[in-house]
C-alpha cells in the first residue's frame, strides 16, 4: 500500500526541477499542483520566479498544465495572467482530472510528470494514473482547511515510508 504514496523523486522546490533533467527522462509534459507547490496556498497570483520557471520549461519545448483541486476563481486568477492552461476542481487523486489534463497535453502518460506537495492527492493520484511523480516541500507551513486534515494522514504515511527506508527526507 505504501508504494502508491512513494514519489519517483523528491526535491526541495520546483526550482530544482530543470528542463534538462526532465528531458533526460523522456518527459515532454508537466502537470503541476498549484497551492503550496507553485506558491503559498493563499497567494493569489504567480510570482516572477514562477513565471520565469514556466517560461524556462516552455522555451525548452515542455508543455505545462496546472491541475488543481481548488475552485475556478482561485485557479483562473492565478493561471490566466500568466497564460498557463489549467484544470480546476480536478478531484485528485481520482482519475478524471488527470485524464482531462492528459488530453489537453496530447501526450502519452509515460512522457508526463506530476509535481505536487501532497502525498494523498498529487502523488497517490499521479502514481495510480501512471505518471512520473515528483514531491516538493510545501511552499508555506500553513494550509487551507481541507489540506490540514490531509496533512495529518500524510505525516503518518511519511513516517511509514521513512521507517521502511523508502524515503529519506527531513523537512
Binding site residues, Mg ion, CB under 5 A: 33, 35-37, 117
Tally: H helices and E strands in the chain: 6, 6
Count CA within 13 A, CB hemisphere, residue 63.
17
Residue (34 or 102) nearer to Mg ion, CB? 34
* Closest CB 61 distance from Mg ion, rounded Å: 26
* Closest CB 81 distance from Mg ion, rounded Å: 20
Residue 150: other Cβ atoms inside 10 A: 15
Residue (36 or 133) nearer to Mg ion, CB? 36
Residue (29 or 138) nearer to Mg ion, CB? 138
Q: How far is CA 44 from the centre of its chain?
A: 17
* Closest CB 160 distance from Mg ion, rounded Å: 21
* Closest CB 95 distance from Mg ion, rounded Å: 18
What is the residue-wise DSSP string for 33-53? --BTTTB-TT--S--HHHHHH
Residue (28 or 92) nearer to Mg ion, CB? 92
Residue (33 or 154) nearer to Mg ion, CB? 33
* Closest CB 59 distance from Mg ion, rounded Å: 25
What is the residue-wise DSSP string for 75-113? HHHHHTTTT--EESS--TTSHHHHHHHHHHHT--GGGEE
Amino acid at each position: 500500500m505504501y508504494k502508491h504514496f512513494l514519489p519517483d523523486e523528491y526535491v526541495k522546490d520546483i526550482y530544482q526541477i530543470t528542463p534538462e533533467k526532465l528531458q533526460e527522462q523522456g518527459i515532454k509534459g508537466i502537470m503541476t499542483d498549484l497551492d503550496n507547490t507553485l506558491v503559498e496556498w493563499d497567494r493569489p497570483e504567480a510570482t516572477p520566479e514562477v513565471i520565469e520557471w514556466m517560461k524556462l520549461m516552455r522555451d525548452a519545448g515542455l508543455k505545462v498544465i496546472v491541475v488543481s483541486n481548488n475552485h475556478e476563481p482561485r485557479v483562473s486568477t492565478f493561471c490566466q495572467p500568466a497564460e498557463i492552461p489549467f484544470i480546476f476542481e480536478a478531484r485528485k487523486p481520482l482519475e478524471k482530472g488527470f485524464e482531462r489534463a492528459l488530453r489537453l497535453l496530447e501526450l502519452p502518460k509515460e512522457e508526463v510528470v506530476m509535481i505536487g506537495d501532497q502525498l494523498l492527492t498529487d502523488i497517490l493520484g499521479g502514481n495510480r494514473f501512471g505518471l512520473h511523480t515528483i514531491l516538493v516541500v510545501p511552499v508555506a507551513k500553513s494550509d487551507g482547511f481541507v489540506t490540514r486534515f490531509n496533512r495529518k494522514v500524510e505525516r503518518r504515511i511519511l513516517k511509514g515510508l521513512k521507517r521502511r527506508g523508502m524515503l529519506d527526507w527531513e523537512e
